[in-house]
Amino acid sequence: MPALTFSPAVRSLKPSATLAAAAKAKELKSKGVNVLDFTLGEPDFNTPEHIRKAAWNAMEAGHTHYTPSGGIMELKQAVCRLYQRDYGLTYKPSQVLISNGAKHSIHNIIAALCGPGDEVIIPTPYWVSYGALVELTGATVVLVDTTEASGFILSAEQLERAITPRTKLLLLNNPSNPTGAAYTPAQLEALAKVAVKHNLLVLSDEIYEKLIYTGSQFRSFASFGPEVAALTILVSGVSKAYAMTGWRIGWTIGPVELIKAMDNLQSQETSNPCSISQYAALAALDGPQDSVEEMRVEFEERRNYVMDRMRPWRQKYGVTFAEPGGAFYAFFNVAALFGKPLAGGVTVSNATDFCTALLEKNHVALVTGDAFGAPGYVRLSFATSLDILQAGLGAIEDFMSGK
Ligand code: PMP
Ligand code: GLU
Break the chain into its structural domains and give their ranges.
8-46+291-401, 50-288
Q: Is the CB of 205 under 6 A from ligand 1?
A: yes
**Residue nearest atom 2 of ligand 2, based on CA coordinates:** 41
Query: What confidence score (pLDDT) does residue 51 get?
Result: 98
Tell which atom from ligand 2 comes closest to the C-alpha of 128.
Answer: 9
**Residue nearest atom 3 of ligand 1, based on CA coordinates:** 177
The average confidence (pLDDT) of the chain is: 97
Q: Is the CB of 174 under 6 A from ligand 1?
A: no
Mean pLDDT of 132-156: 97
pLDDT band at residue 337 under the 50/70/90 scheme: very high
Tell which atom from ligand 2 comes closest to the C-alpha of 103.
Answer: 8
pLDDT digits (tens, 9 = 90+) for 194-231: 999 999 999 999 999 999 999 999 999 999 999 999 99
Q: Is the CB of 237 under 6 A from ligand 1?
A: yes
For the chain, give the secondary structure using H, E and C: CCCCCCCHHHHCCCCCHHHHHHHHHHHHHHCCCCCEECCCCCCCCCCCHHHHHHHHHHHHCCCCCCCCCCCCHHHHHHHHHHHHHHHCCCCCHHHEEEECCHHHHHHHHHHHHCCCCCEEEEEECCCHHHHHHHHHCCCEEEEEECCHHHCCCCCHHHHHHHCCCCEEEEEEECCCCCCCCCCCHHHHHHHHHHHHHHCCEEEEECCCCCCECCCCCCCCHHHCCHHHHHHEEEEEECCCCCCCHHHCCEEEECCHHHHHHHHHHHHHHCCCCCHHHHHHHHHHHHCCCHHHHHHHHHHHHHHHHHHHHHHHHHHHHCCEECCCCECCEEEEECHHHCCCCCHHHCCCCCHHHHHHHHHHHHCEECEEHHHHCCCCEEEEECCCCHHHHHHHHHHHHHHHCCC
Give the architecture (CATH level 2) of 50-288: 3-Layer(aba) Sandwich (3.40)
Query: What confidence score (pLDDT) does residue 9 get?
Result: 86
Ligand lying nearest the CA atom of residue 365: 2
pLDDT at 1 over 90: no
Ligand lying nearest the CA atom of residue 130: 1
Mean pLDDT of 257-273: 98
Closest C-alpha to 302, from 177, 388, 397:
388
Same fold, 8-46+291-401 and 50-288: no
Tell which atom from ligand 1 comes closest to the C-alpha of 249.
Answer: 16
Biggest alpha carbon–alpha carbon distance for the chain: 62
Query: What confidence score (pLDDT) does residue 83 get?
Result: 98
Tell which atom from ligand 1 comes closest to the C-alpha of 42.
Answer: 8
Sequence letter at residue 311 = R
Q: Is the CB of 321 under 6 A from ligand 1?
A: no
More confident residue, 340 or 1: 340
Sequence letter at residue 386 = L
Which residues contact residue 3 at a Cβ distance below 8 angstroms, ignoring those fewer than 6 apart?
none
Ligand lying nearest the CA atom of residue 106: 1
**Residue nearest atom 12 of ligand 1, based on CA coordinates:** 102
C-alpha 249 – ligand 1 centre gap (Å) = 10
Query: What confidence score (pLDDT) does residue 8 get?
Result: 86
C-alpha 103 – ligand 1 centre gap (Å) = 5
Ligand lying nearest the CA atom of residue 208: 1
pLDDT at 65 over 90: yes
Rg (CA), the chain: 21
Q: Is the CB of 207 under 6 A from ligand 1?
A: yes
pLDDT at 60 over 90: yes
What is the percent of the chain where pLDDT is above 90?
A: 96
Query: What confidence score (pLDDT) does residue 298 get?
Result: 98
Q: Measuring from each residue's beta carbon to the nearest atom of ligand 2, which residues come in under 6 Å? A: 16, 18-19, 40-42, 103, 128-129, 177
pLDDT digits (tens, 9 = 90+) for 281-324: 999 999 999 999 999 999 999 999 999 999 999 999 999 999 99
Q: Is the CB of 239 under 6 A from ligand 1?
A: yes
Tell which atom from ligand 1 comes closest to the C-alpha of 100.
Answer: 14
- The CATH fold assigned to 8-46+291-401 is Aspartate Aminotransferase, domain 1 (3.90.1150)
Q: How far is CA 118 from CA 65, 115, 129, 197, 233, in A?
A: 38, 6, 18, 19, 17
Closest C-alpha to 380, from 334, 335, 314:
334
Tell which atom from ligand 2 comes closest to the C-alpha of 177.
Answer: 4
